A and B are shown apart, each in its own frame.
Chain A
Amino acid sequence: MKKTIITLTILFTFGFLAFGQVTDPLISKCAINAGTNAKYLKDFRIQLGKAATRSELRYKANMSLWKNTKYRFTMCNAENSNGQLILAIKDDTNKLILSSFDKKTGKIFSFVDFECQKSGIYQISYDFTNGQQGSGVGVVSMIK
């Protein structure tokens, strides 16, 4: 157990240093949070003010996702965020495929794994809980 903790600490420290030298700390943190088995694909930097009205998630981007690939969507918040970063993905027919926010329980997941079985162009949406002001990063990785 002690050995595992030491190994994890070393991996985390060196991983952070390696990332930290090349990019901003929030992306480093978020990419490391994705896990050692995750291979980085892209990141989305989200900065939003307080929403005037609460409707759909405000930050939108398209991304092609491919069948037989397991993706991990990791969300990280900057310290000065009022809200927590949440994610929703819709397919090209506007059907909701996943959400990191469970409306029934109010639970927010910091990462969501998606086992894609339908290749296509998906709409990735981010926002902060209750349309609050916030700053954060969404990292997309592939996992085995």
Chain B
Amino acid sequence: MKGRVFLFLIIVFFGFSCRNSKSKTSEFVFPQSDSIPVSEVEKLSPEAIADISKNISSPVEIANLLQTLQVPFSQNYLAASIDANRQGTNFDKALKLGILGADLGYLNMYEKTGSSLDVLSSIRKIAEDIKVGQFFDFESIKRLSKNKSNLDSLLFISIDSYSKIDNYLRANNRGQLSALMIIGVWIEGQYLATQVVNVYPDKMLSDRIGEQKIILNDLLLLISPYCKRDPEFISLCKDMQAIKEKYRDIRITYTLGDPVSVEKNGGLTIKQTETSVVTMSKEQLNSVIEITKNIRDKLILNN
């Protein structure tokens, strides 16, 4: 009898703890705990970490959205103040590699090849400094940048170079640099989106900013193992937590629906009718814009 009660309690416990909060409330919520215990992070397999790092959205997607909204290109959004020769620590270098990678994605999407060559030179210098220059196919990117008809190849090789760097760093016990690079890419993409929405207020763009709540926890999970490593990491983790706090009350809810499929030209098109809905006040958006700018500016000026 005692055994059955114990078994029942285990089933009840796991039944509740495994239930996704979203399925109950049809709303995306952060996990209960404010910080992710180190033991949880340590349990993550290298495959799981790789999965998280690959899962973070590409800055190319933000740039694509800006193009769809017909937002003109602006040089002002780029991290022009980054001097590749003045990056003191590997922390700075890896973070800047990410930031510049996002800028490269933005430049590539808008086919601003002249400016992208300057960014490419900085990327090359920093990548060589942290001994990952061999994965960055500088010459091919440079060549493709000059030929505007090869945008897809350019996007591929740029993204692929970053993926190779990321894989190599993680495989060689330099996961902290990989995490920094990914954080850098995300921060710069977020900066780009928030700066643009300030000038061109658009619901689709502000929704995309609000939806970043979905991947924030994954980003925190990536850097959590290093949060006590040194003052630079302590400060970055604090900044990321501060961003998370700004997102806490932004709501993402879901409406239900079944996908609709249509066969066309030998292919299949699936239209999703289920939707995500972001509820974010002007004040909430402004505070995300402000904190993103403050943190990003601090990071790029920290030469």
Query: Chain A residues in contact with chain B, CB under 8 A?
Result: 14-15, 18-19, 21-23, 27, 31, 36, 38-42, 61-64, 66-69, 91-93, 97-98, 100, 109-121, 141-142, 144
Contacts and interface: CB of A to CB of B under 8 A. Distances in A.
Nearest to A44: B54
Contact of B272 (A19, A93, A118): A118
B20 A19 contact: no
Nearest to B274: A118
A100 to B, nearest CB: 7
B65 interface: yes
B57 interface: yes
B245 interface: no
Contact of B159 (A15, A40, A97, A121): A40
Contacts, number: 144
B152 interface: yes
B275 A61 contact: no
B155 A115 contact: no
B211 A119 contact: yes
Given A18-B144, A98-B259, A92 B20 contact: yes
A120 B55 CA distance: 10
Nearest to A118: B276
B61 A40 contact: no
A113 B270 contact: yes
B278 to A, nearest CB: 8
A97 B214 contact: no
